[in-house]
Structure 1
Amino acid sequence: MSRLAFAFDLDGTIVDSRKDIVFSVNRTLNYYHLPELPFERIVSYVGNGARVLMERVLGENLKIIDLDEAVRKFREIYLEHCIDESYIFDGIYECIGIIKRGGHYLFVITNKPSPHSIKILKHFNILPILDGVFCQDTMKALKPDPVTIKELLEKYHLRPEDFYMIGDSKVDVDFAHSAGAISIMVGYGGVISQEEYNNTSSHFKANTTSDLIRIIDYIVCK
C-alpha cells in the first residue's frame, strides 16, 4: 500500500482550546475597560482567526479601539495562557498511533499563529512525531486556499486522493476539496453549530473521536 497523508486542524480537532481563548478574550476586554462577554458568545465568534474574532468581539468599540493593537494584545495574552485549561480530546493519541504505525505522513495545518500552535503541540507531546506543522504565519495563504496541500502533494509525491484533511469546520472541508483531497469533518469540537456540521458535505463525518478512530483505521487498512 502506498503512503497516505493525514493533516489535522488544531482547535476543535486535536484540542479543546475554548476556555483559554475565552479567558484571553475577556482579559483583552479588561485591558480596554470593557465588560466581559459570555462564554458561548465568544465561542460563536471563533473559527476565522484572531483578527476576525476580535473584530466580532469589539463590534462598535472599533470606533475608539485600534483593531491591530487589540489583536496584538489578545495574542500576547493568549500565548501566556494557551495551555492553562486546554486539553487533548480523548482518542486523538490513538488516531495518531494508527497513522504512524502504518508508516503514513502526519501534519497539522492551522490558521492559528505558530508560537501558540507550537507551544500547544509541544505541551501535548505531539510535535516530535509530526512530519510538518503549517500555521498562519508559515503558509503562503490561509485555509481554505489549497496552496499548502498542493505543495505537500508535490513534495511527497502524493495523489490528491491519498491526502486526508481532518477538521471541524467548513473551512477545512473546502480546503480539502479545493485541492482534490479527501475531507473528514469532526463534530465533537464544540465550536461550530450542529446546523453547520449537518449542512456541510464532506467525504467522511465523525461525530465522536471513536468515529474518527474507526474511519482512520478503515482508511489505513483498506
Structure 2
Amino acid sequence: MIFDLDGTLVDSAPDIHASVNATLRDAGERTLTLDRVRSFIGGGVDMLWALIASDLGIDPAERSRLIAAFMSRYHHATQLTRLFDGVPEALEALARSGHPLGICTNKPHAATMAVLDHFGLAPMFGAVVSGDSLAVKKPDPAPLVEAFARLGADPSRPRGIFVGDSEFDANCARNAGVPLILFMGGYRHGPVASLPHHAQFDDFSTLPALVAETMDKLIA
C-alpha cells in the first residue's frame, strides 16, 4: 500500500498557502487566496511556483529566488496542517492486516518527514519517496515504482495499491500499471470521470474494507 501525502493523508494547503504568501509579501508581490494556492498544489514545488509566477506575472528569472525563500519556511511548516479524519486508524488497520505501507509524494523530503514526524506517522511507513528523491516526479511512474521496490515488490511488475487524490496520482498509477483508490476529499482539479481509478472513497473508515475488495479483484 503506497499513499500520496498532501491532499490524501493530510490537508497541508493552509501551511503551503501561508508560506507562499509570506514569501510573496517579502518580495513585494500580491498575495493569493487559499483556494487559488490549493489549485496549484500537486506537481511539486517547481510547478507550484511556475503557476504562481504565471498567475501574478512575475519575471521567471525571479522564480529561483522565490523558491529558495519559500523553502526556508516550508521545510518545517506543520502548524496549520491537519490529518484527514480517520487516517491513523485506517493505517493501523491496514498494517495489522499485513500490508506494508509507503509514501510516494511530490512534496520535498524534508517537508514530508516534518509532517510525518509531527503526526507520529513516520514509523508506520517502510518506504518514503519524495519529490526530490529521484530526478523525476509523479505522474512519471518511477517514484511510485521505487516506493513499491523499497517495500520488496518486483519493480518490473509491482503488486499493490496506490491511494491518492489528484490527476498526478491517477496518471502515475496508470503509468506504473497499478490500481488507484481515489480519495475524494483532496486536491483534485478535474471531474472524477476524467481520472483513471479502480475505486473511490471519502471516509477513511471505509478504506480497509475497500482495499480488501480491491485486492480480491486483483487476485481473482
Same fold (TM over 0.5): yes
Which deviations, in whole Å up to 9, do the C-alpha atoms of 1:10-64 show, x marking residues without a partner?
0000100011111111001111111221121111121211112122222254327
Structure-to-structure mapping, 1:9-158, within 5 angstroms: 9-59=4-54, 61-63=57-59, 66-80=62-76, 82-153=77-148, 156-158=152-154
What SS does structure 1 have at the residue aligned with 2:181? strand
For residues 78 and 184 of structure 2, the distance between their equivalents in structure 1, rounded to whole angstroms, comes to 22
CA contact (8 A) 1:99 1:220 kept: no
Letter in 1 for 2:69: K
Off by >3 Å, runs of 4+ in structure 1: 148-155, 157-161, 217-222
Question: How far apart, CA to CA, are the structure 1 residues paired with 2:198 and 2:60?
Answer: 45
User: Could you tell me the TM-score, scaled by structure 2's length?
Assistant: 0.87
1:172 corresponds to 2:169:
yes
Point out where structure 1 has 5 or more consecutive residues left out of the alignment.
1-5
Quote the residue 1:204 is aligned against.
Answer: 199
Deviates more, 1:171-180 or 1:56-65: 56-65
Shifted more, 63-72 versus 33-42: the winner is 63-72
RMSD: 2.2
1:133 aligned counterpart, secondary structure: strand
Aligned: 1:163 with 2:160: yes
* Deviation, structure 1 residue 214: 3.3
CA-CA distance at 1:72 after TM superposition? 1.2
Higher mean alpha-carbon deviation, 115-124 vs 204-213, is at: 204-213
**Counterpart Cα distance in 1 of 2:209 and 2:149:** 28
Aligned length: 214
Q: Which runs of 5+ in 2 are unaligned?
A: none
Question: Which amino acid is 2:125 matched to?
Answer: L
Q: Return the TM-score normalized by structure 1.
A: 0.86
Secondary structure of the 2:101 match is strand
Task: Give the letter aligned to residue 163 of structure 1.
Answer: G
Residue of 3, 8, 11 corresponding to 2:3: 8
Aligned-pair distance for 1:154? 5.1
